[in-house]
Amino acid sequence: MGTKKVVSETSGAVFSLPWFVAKDQGFFAEEGIDMEFVDSLSVHVDQPVADPEKVDPILGHTPFEDNQVAIYRA
Amino acid sequence: MVRAESDHYYPSSLANRPIAVQFHAGSHYTALRLIEGYIPVEKIKLLHYGSPRYRFEALMSGEVDAAMLMEPWIALAEKNGCRSVCEGHYLGAENASDNMDEETFAAINRAVIKAVDLINSDKKRFLHYLIDQPKFAVIADEWGGLTPDDFHLPRLRYTHPMPYTDEQVEDTYNWMVRWGLLNASVCANDFVDNRPAEPTAADD
């Protein structure tokens, strides 16, 4: 079985924990997946914003939007 | 979460008081779902501060009365005397691009299922991933640090990947439209490609 490269965006470790464990325990490798992680970007504002419409809903998931990664979780 | 010296002990007192969230993320939607049962819509004052670090810092500095946090920030806040006035859970899910083929997605899910089962067999063993993540550790050090014993383990809930039910999609869609978070002219099916998870046991 060949190995397939997958690039995944990670967010907070509480969300990505099963993915980190799956990689470190070799579970992805057992499935023929070469899993690479790319960290999502932190979202910071100079001043707090009260109107949701003034905030880009993409937030820090720009690696996914830019097609650098194939999957992310939230 | 609210600060130790705060007068807030339940959600109702947060009417017209600033609450730090990240708009268009779980902290935003969960805040609305939790607080709308206690406070009239026009008195819910959410403020976008961005990522959890900035919500935590806004809480501890007194800029806001409350902040929506997730672990390990909850544990760090509690260790520093903060308390919860309400708690909610929401479903985290995978968002895959169009070029993710079903075979690869199924293989990923089989690996994740094994990891979920391993985590649930001994959650404390894996808390170092949360404690040591760089974005968190640098701030935690400033606030006394965190150890695995500081966590309330039942808060950490990991389940096998599964698709949303059609009912969940419809109910969530209607809720988001009601709050003006989605354009009502767009059908929910335009947003969700609800691919079924391969029903293979983790030990197959």
pLDDT in tens, B169-181: 899 889 989 998 8
Give contacts of B31 with chain A, Cβ < 8 Å: none
Predicted TM-score (pTM) of the model is 0.89
Give contacts of B29 with chain A, Cβ < 8 Å: none
pLDDT at B195: 58
pLDDT at A60: 63
Q: Encoding tokens for residue B30?
A: 């969960």
Q: Encoding tokens for residue A1?
A: 């079985």
pLDDT at B4: 96
- What is the pLDDT averaged over residues A41-58? 84
Q: Which residue of A has its CA nearest to B99?
A: A70
pLDDT at B196: 52
pLDDT at B186: 66
Contacts of B19 (CB under 8 A, 6+ apart): B31, B35, B44, B45, B46, B47, B64, B65, B66, B67, B68
Q: Nearest C-alpha of chain A: how many angstroms from B10?
A: 23
Determine the Cα–Cα distance for residues B47 and B27; give it in Å rounded to an integer. Answer: 11
pLDDT at A55: 81
Determine the Cα–Cα distance for residues B25 and B73; give it in Å rounded to an integer. Answer: 16
Question: Taking CB atoms and an 8 Å limit, are B53 and A42 in contact across chains?
Answer: yes
Residues 112-151 of B with CB under 8 A from A: 112, 114-116, 118-119, 126, 129-130, 133, 135-136
- Residue B58, chain A, CB below 8 Å: the answer is yes
Residues in chain B: 204
Question: Taking CB atoms and an 8 Å limit, are B24 and A20 in contact across chains?
Answer: no
Residues of chain B with pLDDT under 50: 197-204
Question: Distance of CA B90 to CAs B134, B136, B159, Å?
Answer: 25, 21, 12
Determine the Cα–Cα distance for residues A14 and B145; give it in Å rounded to an integer. Answer: 17
Contacts of B118 (CB under 8 A, 6+ apart): A21, A25, B126
Q: Looking at the partner chain, which of A25, A49, A74 has a beta carbon nearest the beta carbon of B118?
A: A25
- Quick one: DSSP state of residue B189? G
Q: Break chain A into its structural domains and give their ranges.
A: 4-41+58-72
- Residue B22, chain A, CB below 8 Å: the answer is yes
pLDDT at B194: 61
